[in-house]
């Protein structure tokens, strides 16, 4: 757990991306594809751009 908190406190960089819990699927997909085209990375959901941990309180299912 400490390692995860350290990564969050270090902030975003070329291999770390934070997404608010209120994200759009297209935005998340874009980040994942970018990491796949590089050498990988980590996406944290429920973390704001300023490293504030807001968490995820509800899972959403978009209408298809």
What confidence tens digit (pLDDT) does each residue in 3-62 have? Answer: 999 999 999 999 999 999 888 889 889 999 999 999 899 999 999 999 999 999 876 665
Provide the b/e sequence for 32-57 (b: ≥16 CB within 10 Å).
eeebeeeeeeeebebbeeeeeeeeee
Query: Phi-psi category of 35—alpha, beta or left, where left has phi over 0 and alpha has psi -120 to 50?
Result: alpha
Q: What confidence category does residue 64 fall into, taking pLDDT thresholds of 50, 70 and 90?
A: very low
Closest of 1, 4, 7, 12 to residue 50, by C-alpha: 12
């Amino acid at each position: 757990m400490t390692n995860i908190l350290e990564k969050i406190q270090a902030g975003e960089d070329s291999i770390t991306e934070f997404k608010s819990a209120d994200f759009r699927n297209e935005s998340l997909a874009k980040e994942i594809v970018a990491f796949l085209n590089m050498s990988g990375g980590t996406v944290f959901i429920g973390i704001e751009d300023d490293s504030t941990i807001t968490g995820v309180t509800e899972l959403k299912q978009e209408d298809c």
